Amino acid sequence: MPPEFSVRSDSVDVEQIMQQIRARIREKRGVDYTEEELRQLAAVKLEKFLDPTRVRSDLVQHYQKARQPGGASTLEPPPENYAFDDHLVYGSARGASGRLITSLRRLLNPVLKLFINPNPIIQVLHRQSAINAYNREQFDRIADLNYEVMHNLVLELTRLSLEVKNLKMRVESVSGRLDFSDRRARALESVVQYKPGSGPAAELAAAPTQAPAGGQGARREAETAAPGAPIKGEAQRARRRRRRHGRGGAPGQQVPGSGAGGGAAGAAREAADGGAAAPGAGGGAGDSLPFDGAEPGRAEAPSPGTPGLTDQ
């Protein structure tokens, strides 16, 4: 980025300012890419990210090839332009005698003009020659412009396709996180319905041997918290146990709030685990739920189906 214009009261240098302005414009336009970089961007990226059936990544090469002599263009090469002036009419190519003939013709021109005036014809043909040259120049200029426009279009298309791809990934990620947050919120809502010492959790706590933590009552809550979420039976229960062990320390060590001494909090944890562990919320989602004192809202999980593609 060019430096900002710092102006002392009497030291304005317009030439320098204009150079900076032009540098800034070049930067904005992005024309400082080398030709090689442009080709690389226009070809490689297209191959990777664009639908090959719809956009030809070698568009530019095809265009160049078509413009080369003997290329795919169906146009015949134009005939050479001629330079027409009065020398062509009066002149002669016979050396010294040619000069004499030229002089003679010029001398006799007034006589010729009694019969026919060649000057308007010379002027018209000269003008036509100039028009031809002009058209040719314009054609070349427009062709160059077309090439440049096409080149830039391909480049921009590549950039846009990359951006679209990135945006799609972000949308998926955000969508997964939203889904997860939604489920977590519903699980939390279900937790605050219970009062310590009452409800099915208290009953469960009173009969630990019949129904281990995370038993039927909790499972029902989990079902309530996540309607439609299937219970996976033993495998899921085993997974929850493993998690609790992992959280609480070595296997066999009692986790606070779990088992007989867990009470309502343990039941609630189960309920929350059950809700959060529902399919669609990610396998490890329950690990970061905020029941162990972690701040709500900080829990994050990778989005479903896009492992490693989040923007975190």
Contact residues toward other proteins (CB under 8 A) are 5, 7-15, 17-18, 21-22, 24-25, 28-29, 85-86, 106, 119, 122-123, 126-127, 130
Shortest Å, Cβ 84 to other proteins: 9
Residue among 214, 183, 213 nearest 299 (CA): 183
* Residue closer to other proteins, measured from CB, 72 or 131: 131
Q: Smallest distance from the beta carbon of 190 to other proteins, in angstroms? A: 50
**Nearer of residues 28 and 298 to other proteins, judged by Cβ:** 28
Query: CB of 106: closest distance to other proteins in angstroms?
Result: 8
When the beta carbons of 117 and 210 are compared against other proteins, the nearer one is 117
CB of 15 to other proteins, least distance (A): 6
CB of 25 to other proteins, least distance (A): 5
Angle between helix 118-191 and 59-67 (nearest 10): 170
Q: State which residue, 106 or 195, has the beta carbon closest to other proteins.
A: 106
Could you tell me the smallest distance in angstroms from the CB atom of residue 93 to other proteins? 19
**Nearest one of 200, 229, 198 to 217, comparing CA atoms:** 200
Q: Smallest distance, Å, CB 279 to other proteins?
A: 50
Which is closer to other proteins, CB of 24 or CB of 62?
Answer: 24
For other proteins, the closer CB: 129 or 161: 129
Closer residue to other proteins, CB minimum distance, 106 or 136: 106
Nearer to other proteins, 55 or 89 (CB): 89
| Cβ–Cβ < 8 Å for 182, 309 | no
Taking the complex as a whole, how short is the minimal distance between the CB of residue 195 and other proteins, in angstroms? 58
